[in-house]
Amino acid sequence: MSHEKIILGAGCFWGVQAAFELLSAVKKTRVGYCGGVTENPNYEEVCSKTTGHFEVVEIDFDPNEITLQKILDLFFKIHNPTQTNGQANDIGPQYLSVIFSNKNQRQEILDYINQISSAYKSPIATKVLDPEKFYTAEEYHQDYLKKNPMGYCHINLPRVKEFLEISGYRLK
């Protein structure tokens, strides 16, 4: 079984993880921090906006079951990639739209963004960056919305599930 990884940031990592956990082709997700200068950052440090890290989700998926384009379709569906100061009510640099991709994924991602950009009134602000060290977030953040079903989420998960079903994604 082959696996591929991608690291995505689209605001608070709780909802991003919950959205990708709906997909059967996604084998594992972990929320964490990536892109900053602080070694082994914790949540409070990242929220201080001084570490340079983004809140992200590391997604391990089977490319034989789902294409990178389908992963990107979901990623761009669940957030506003034109927002330059965070996502929804989550404001700050740790909540920016970001993709950490390997060099094999890079051109496909850039082509995809170029292809969809005309659908938006404002320029896509999503950063596409080289892979950085991924730091796993504290355990209480992992699968947060499963543990706390009434927890805050900037993503409308029922709407996401409906989109996935209509679009023919295989769900867990």
Q: Name the domain count of the chain.
A: 1
Q: What is the mean pLDDT of residues 25-33?
A: 98
| 56, part of any domain | yes
| Average pLDDT of the chain, as a whole number | 96
| 148, part of any domain | yes
Tell me the pLDDT band of 68, cut-offs 50, 70 and 90: very high
The tokens 């900053």 sit on which residue? 36
Is pLDDT at 42 greater than 90 in this prediction?
A: yes
Instruction: Check if 153 is active-site.
Output: no
Q: Give kind and range of the element (H or E) at residue 7.
A: strand 4-10
| 172, part of any domain | no
Tell me the residue range of the domain where 113 lies.
4-166
Q: What is the mean pLDDT of residues 110-126?
A: 97
Spot the catalytic one: 12, 34, 47, 153: 12
Task: Write down the pLDDT at residue 25.
Answer: 97
| 171, part of any domain | no
DSSP annotation string for 84-117: SSEETTEESGGGSEEEE--HHHHHHHHHHHHHHG
Higher confidence at residue 153 or residue 73? Answer: 73
Task: Write down the pLDDT at residue 1.
Answer: 63
Q: Which two tokens stand for residue 129?
A: 């960056």
Task: Write down the pLDDT at residue 57.
Answer: 98
| 78, part of any domain | yes
| 154, part of any domain | yes
Q: Which two tokens stand for residue 42?
A: 């914790």
Domain with 81 in it: what CATH number?
3.30.1060.10
| 156, part of any domain | yes
Is pLDDT at 130 greater than 80 in this prediction?
A: yes
